[in-house]
Structures are given as C-alpha cells and as structure tokens.
Structure 1
Amino acid sequence: MRKIGLIGGMSWVSTASYYERINSEVQKRLGGFASAHMLIESVNYGDYARLQSDDDWDAAAGLMTRSAKRLEQSGATAILICSNAMHKIYDQVQPEVGIPILHIADCVGEKMVADGIASATLIGTRNVMTEGFYRKRLVGKGITLSPPDEERVMEIDRIIYEELMFNQAKRDSERTMKTYITNIAKMEIEAVVLGCTELDLIVDTKANILPIYDSTEIHADAAVDWILSEA
C-alpha cells in the first residue's frame, strides 16, 4: 500500500469526510481490518482566509508549499489538497515538490468523461464558479459548462462560508440547493458538479433529478486508486 498525504483543514469538516471515505473504501476493497496508510497536514484555515481577504495568493501558495514539502519528507507518494477553492494555487505548489498532487478538477473531469457527460453546471465557492483555474480543467476535457448565474453564485458562496464550514446544515439551505438543481435541470444540462468539498452536507447526491458529481467523493476515490495501485 502506498502512503497518501492530505492537506486538510480547509475546512476541517470536509477533511473528516475525506478521512472517512478513503478508509471505508480501502476496507471495502481489501476487506478485514484494512485501512489507509495516510498522512494529514491539517492547516489553520484562518491563516488562509486572511490571505484570501487580502488577495495575497502568493503568500497562500507559500504556506501550502511548506505543507506539501512536509508531507513529501514524511514519505507521502502523492498529495491531495482537500479543497476545491484552494486549487487556485495548485500551479504554484505542484512544481515545488517531487511527487504528484492529484488535481481535484482533473479527477472530476476524468470521471465525467468516462460516464459520457458532455455538459454540466459547476457550483461551489465564488472563485470556483467564476474563475478560470477550475473551469478550464473541465472544459479542457471536452465538457461544456453553463455560465455562472450571479444570484446563485452569491447565495451558494454565502451558504458555504457562513454555514457549511461551521458544520451547519440548515433546512432552508437544503431547500435552496434543491430549487437550484431543479432549475438547472430545465436548461438541457446533463449533470451538476459539486465544486465544494462541503456541499454534500446539504445536497443528496444520490436522490436528484440530475447526476451529481461530488468532488469530495471522486477526489477521495482517486486517492484510494493511488494507494492501492502498484508503485
């Protein structure tokens, strides 16, 4: 079994989901008492939040690079950044380590292509929904993305940062997301991408009128594939 490294804490809520998913899948595949050989570098997201507010992404990349190097030095053979939004600095961090960082959008895109999905709506934090660093990865795999809806962008971003990152799954927000997905389904869209690692707290990924591609689940499963593949 190969050792995987996770950069977590962004938020701690979703990092717990990664830990549970990876270990449950390893046990399912190997049986018995098996669990994953895993390292977690859990950061203080407050440090990153301040840098985001100041739009100082270079400093954020410096922090994350140090985390990635610590995981590499501790024996990790690959790394996951357990956040969609923080992949904004992926291209600055990956060259600084000698092991692969599995890009969450690439994992999602590859799964969608394998399933024959050609069009989707991406929902997540504001920067994921509106900036190119994430969207271009999916478009580059031949997936057409609907343009971001400004009203949805504002409300989903608020729900994530004011509720989900504090582990609050509110009924009103569940209803809001259900309404959004129902409306998206009227647009001749084939699927919805949950481009936020906490959105599965309020979106039932198995009971919607459209296929839901949960980035947390897909990213964690890619980690399991890495762990159990031959070196």
Structure 2
Amino acid sequence: MKTIGLIGGMSWESTANYYQLINQGIKQRLGGLHSAKLVLVSVDFAEIEALQHQGNWQKTAEILSNAAKSLELAGADFFLICTNTMHKVASQVENAVTIPLLHIADATGSQLISNKLNKVGLLGTKFTMQQDFYKDRLHSNFSIDVLVPSHIEQDFVHDVIYQELCLGKVKEQSRKQYLEIINCLSRRGAQGIILGCTEIGLLIEKSHTQSILYDTTLIHAQAAVLESLKK
C-alpha cells in the first residue's frame, strides 16, 4: 500500500471528511482491520484565507509547497491538496517536490467522463467559479463545458462557504438558496453539478435534489484510495 500525503486545514472540517472517507475506502476494499497509510500536514486556514482575498497567491504557493516538502520527507508516495481553490497554485506546489500530485479536477473530470457528461454546473468559491485554473482544466483535458451561476449568486455561494461552512455552520436557509441555484444551472443545461468546494458537501446531499451531484471531496478521496492500492 502506498502512503498518501494530505495537505489539509482548508478547512479542517472538510479535511476530517477526507481522513474518514479514505479510511472507509481502504477498509471496504481490504477488510479486517486495514486502514490507510497516510501523513497529514494541516495549515492555518486563517492565514491562507487572508492571502487569498489579498490576491497574494505566491505566498499561498510557498506555504503549500513547504507542506508538500514535509509530506515527501515523511514518506508520502503521492499527495493531495484537500481543497479545490488552492489548486490555483497546484503546478507551483507540485514542482516543489518529486512525488506526484493527485489533482482534484482530474479526479472529477475522470468521473464525469465515465458517466458520459459533457456539460456541468460548478459551485465553489468565487476564485474557482470565476478564474480559469479549474474550468479550463476540465475543458482542455476532458472536453467538458462548465456553467457557473450569475455574479450575484456567486457572491452568495462564496459567502456561505467562508462565513458559514468553513466555521462548521450549516443553515437551512442557505441550503434552500443553494438548491435554487442548482436548479437554475440544471435548467440552463447542466447534466450534473460539481460541488467544487470541499465544504459544500456538508450542506448539500444527494437526497436534497434531483440533480446529479458530484462531491469533489468524495471523488478525490476515492481516487486517493485507488492510487494507494496500485502496485
């Protein structure tokens, strides 16, 4: 079994889900008392969040690169950045080490292609919804068209992530408005909805909507399990 490296803490609530999902996946496949071999470096999200909103992505890349180096020194065979937004600096972080990065958009794109989808809606932080680092990777590598909400809806989705979900707050009213946004994306032709922030799965579940949801935390964790068991 390969050792999985996790860069977490962005936020710790979703990182805890990664840990649980990966270990559940290993147990399901190997049975008995098996659990995942992994190492975790958890950063201070308050520092990362401030730098994000300052536009200081270079500094965030340095912080995550140092975390990746620590994972490599600890014996990780590959690593994950346990957040969608920080994949904006994925190439810089990957270039800082010799072990490979399991990219969250690639894991998601592979799942979408296996389900024969070519147009999806995307919910996430404004950085993920507005900038090209995530959408372009899905389009270039998987020929998937990505729809995003209106600017007003993006503001709401973003604020709920940072002001509620990252603080462990799950509000019914926010869920209702998220579901309205999901329905709008579906009416615009989205065949499925990417929950493109690792916290959104805390708010929206499959039972809440008829739209097909793609929870990137679950998809990324499952991909990590499969990679760890490759020989």
Under TM normalisation by the shorter chain, which class is it? over 0.9
**How far off its partner does 1:206 sit?**
4.7
Please state whether the residue corresponding to 2:120 is helix, strand or coil: strand
Please state whether the residue corresponding to 1:33 is helix, strand or coil: coil
Instruction: Quote the residue 1:196 is aligned against.
Output: 197
Paired letter, 1:43: V
Please state whether the residue corresponding to 2:226 is helix, strand or coil: helix
Separation in 2, partners of 1:8, 1:145: 26
Separation in 1, partners of 2:39, 2:169: 27
Instruction: Quote the residue 2:133 is aligned against.
Output: 133
**How large is the Cα RMSD of the aligned pairs?**
1.1
**How far off its partner does 1:207 sit?**
4.6
Separation in 2, partners of 1:172, 1:191: 22
Paired letter, 1:194: L
Q: Does 1:216 align with 2:217?
A: yes
Paired letter, 2:103: H
Kindly indicate whether the alpha-carbon contact (under 8 Å) linking 1:205 and 1:214 is maintained by their aligned counterparts in 2.
no
Kindly indicate whether the alpha-carbon contact (under 8 Å) linking 1:185 and 1:209 is maintained by their aligned counterparts in 2.
no
Separation in 1, partners of 2:146, 2:46: 31
Instruction: Quote the residue 1:229 is aligned against.
Output: 230
Separation in 2, partners of 1:7, 1:126: 21
In structure 2, the CA distance between the partners of 1:207 and 1:173, relative to structure 1 (3 Å rule), is: closer
Instruction: Quote the residue 1:31 is aligned against.
Output: 31
Aligned-pair identity in percent equals 37
Kindly indicate whether the alpha-carbon contact (under 8 Å) linking 1:9 and 1:43 is maintained by their aligned counterparts in 2.
yes
In structure 2, the CA distance between the partners of 1:91 and 1:21, relative to structure 1 (3 Å rule), is: same
Separation in 1, partners of 2:220, 2:209: 21
Kindly indicate whether the alpha-carbon contact (under 8 Å) linking 1:8 and 1:40 is maintained by their aligned counterparts in 2.
yes
Paired letter, 1:159: V
Separation in 1, partners of 2:53, 2:150: 23
Please state whether the residue corresponding to 1:97 is helix, strand or coil: coil
**How far off its partner does 1:54 sit?**
2.2
**How far off its partner does 1:147 sit?**
4.5
- 5 Å matches for 1:8-157? 8-140=8-140, 141-157=142-158
**How far off its partner does 1:148 sit?**
3.9
Q: Which of 45-54 and 1-10 deviates more?
A: 45-54
Separation in 1, partners of 2:21, 2:162: 23
Stretches (4+) displaced over 3 A: none
Please state whether the residue corresponding to 1:225 is helix, strand or coil: helix
What residue ranges of structure 2 are gaps of 5+ in the alignment? Answer: none
Separation in 1, partners of 2:167, 2:205: 19
Q: Which of 138-147 and 165-174 deviates more?
A: 138-147
- 5 Å matches for 1:170-181? 170-181=171-182
**How far off its partner does 1:189 sit?**
1.7
Separation in 2, partners of 1:23, 1:147: 33
TM-score after normalising by structure 1: 0.97
| Count of residues in Structure 1 that have an aligned counterpart in Structure 2 | 230
